[in-house]
Amino acid sequence: MKRFFSLLFLLVVVSNVFSQKDNTVVKTNTGLISGIQNKESNIYIYKGIPFAAPPVAALRWKTPQPVTPWTGIKKCETFGASAPQGKPVPFSMYTSEFLIPEEPINEDCLYLNVWTSSIKSTSKKPVIVWIHGGAFISGSGSCPIYDGENMAKKGVVFVTINYRLGVFGFLAHPELTKESPTHSSGNYAFLDQVEALKWVKKNIAAFGGDPNRVTIAGQSAGSFSVNALAASPIAKGLFQRVIAESGGMFNTDERTLTLPIAEQNGIKILEKVKTSSIAEMRNMPADDLAKAVGYGMVGPVIDGYVLPENIYNIYSQGKQNDVPVLTGWNRDEGFAPPNTPSPEDYKTSAQKKYGELADAFLSAYPGNTTDEIKRSQVVLARNTTFAWHAYTWARLQTAKQKNKVFLYQFDKVPPENEQYGAFHSAEIAYALNSLHTWHRPWTEADKNIENIMSSYWVNFAANGDPNGKGLPLWKPYSTRQNALMEFEEKEIDMKSIDGLSGFEFIDKWQKHLNEKK
């Protein structure tokens, strides 16, 4: 009898183990995978799902290739490798929550992660695909602050992705252009993102998601990426809405890399690493190549394929993917120069750089005192890198397309970050309902903004409109009203855009630069 009960106990244990494993198994187009569940067993989590073949050796600087199917059940319980980049080290306001885990970092990096409350194909939940920031040289979908558990609890299937960075993601070169069937080179990072979206289109129903209600979202370089995908013909039909936090590429000035310029930069990179061909560079160890090249000389390219022309022109002509847009910026996210000039030097510098537009510049960005100059430098840096792009996006889309734009400014200063203000990236944890991953003494005001902001994001993913029961009314942008939703400590409400003259000056300056070409 004792032996009988021992065997019975063993069978129960084994049965429980198998039922636990089976509980998370999902079928993808390349094979079965298993994941894990959260502590409450109400969220399924899958980490390190391959969406493309490793872009190594002969596949370095190639269009992402299909994953080789597998047999059995692949365990997807830990994050895949992050793309090659410098060692993640906290600095300024960027604590460990914003950084990737140190290991693994590997060129074999094309993985994505999924959080969902259902793995029934009939659930048809809205999907958010999050594209990480990091200036196109760092970052990963595994950063703690992107944890998708709470967003999944709010009703979306939340996906984070990796993509190639730095020289691996953006090298252009005549040899690469010649070998490409699209006669282009340079935008491998964007091609990775498109491949991830294709994977979502094919597979997300198995994770309870609706392949026809996909929102691409991102911050900083992720927002730049969202802007590129929204403008790109090769991404058409892969998403139905976009969320862009702090970033866009509407500039038409000297920062724009055309394919010929990018190819010349690529030739210089080959010289720098002392190689004579792309074949030689493909044989270099990834670490050696990354260290030899550094982080300059590469970036998004107007390549004629991913981006047929500059994004400002695409939107001006109404040629973008016409989907609802939610976009905005943070109040204090400008990276100002370390040194503050005197009022006299500030004025002289403005006259030298802007010529006949100097008076318009000094009116929009005044510099009569040192304190005024410091603030003007922050606002100018914020506007030229982030805010003006969101404003221009709203203005151009409203003029040319039927789908609405919802514009915001984030003013909340996180606790223990007073010296940095509402800094670049401060909004992420509020928008993604992930304050729990960021270790700060959160107040009720912080938690209230987190709840409201993440609810707006989820509603927008579901319906293309952020509004919902119990939330302050968020009106779509109009050129007549020039208003936005402002997220601040004491109030969340529609406000007139502050500092429009700063945007209007950048418009004039961009026009001036174009006329000089």
All residues at 6 or more sequence positions from 40 whose CB lies less than 8 Å from its CB, including other chains? none
Q: Does residue 230 fall inside a structural domain?
A: yes
Q: Does residue 214 fall inside a structural domain?
A: yes
Q: Residue 255 has what pLDDT?
A: 60
pLDDT in tens, 290-309: 888 876 678 999 999 999 99
* Cα–Cα distance, 328 to 485 (Å, whole number): 9
Which range marks the domain in which residue 252 is found? 30-323
Q: Which of the residues are catalytic?
A: 220
The tally of domains found in the chain comes to 1
Q: Does residue 290 fall inside a structural domain?
A: yes
Q: Residue 335 has what pLDDT?
A: 82
Query: Which one-letter DSSP state was computed for residue 355?
Result: G
Q: Does residue 388 fall inside a structural domain?
A: no
| CATH value at residue 252 | 3.40.50.1820
Q: Nearest CA to 334 among 375, 390, 389?
A: 375
pTM reported for the whole predicted model: 0.93
Q: Does residue 381 fall inside a structural domain?
A: no
Q: Does residue 502 fall inside a structural domain?
A: no
pLDDT in tens, 107-145: 999 999 999 999 999 999 999 999 999 999 999 999 999
Q: Does residue 484 fall inside a structural domain?
A: no
408 bridge partner residues: 328, 485
Q: Residue 22 has what pLDDT?
A: 61
Q: Does residue 380 fall inside a structural domain?
A: no
Q: Residue 516 has what pLDDT?
A: 67
b/e burial code for range 154-180 (CB count within 10 A of at least 16 → b): bbbbbbbbbbbbbbbbbbbbebbbeeb
116 bridge partner residues: 44
Please list the ranges in the chain whose pLDDT falls under 50. 1-2, 4-21
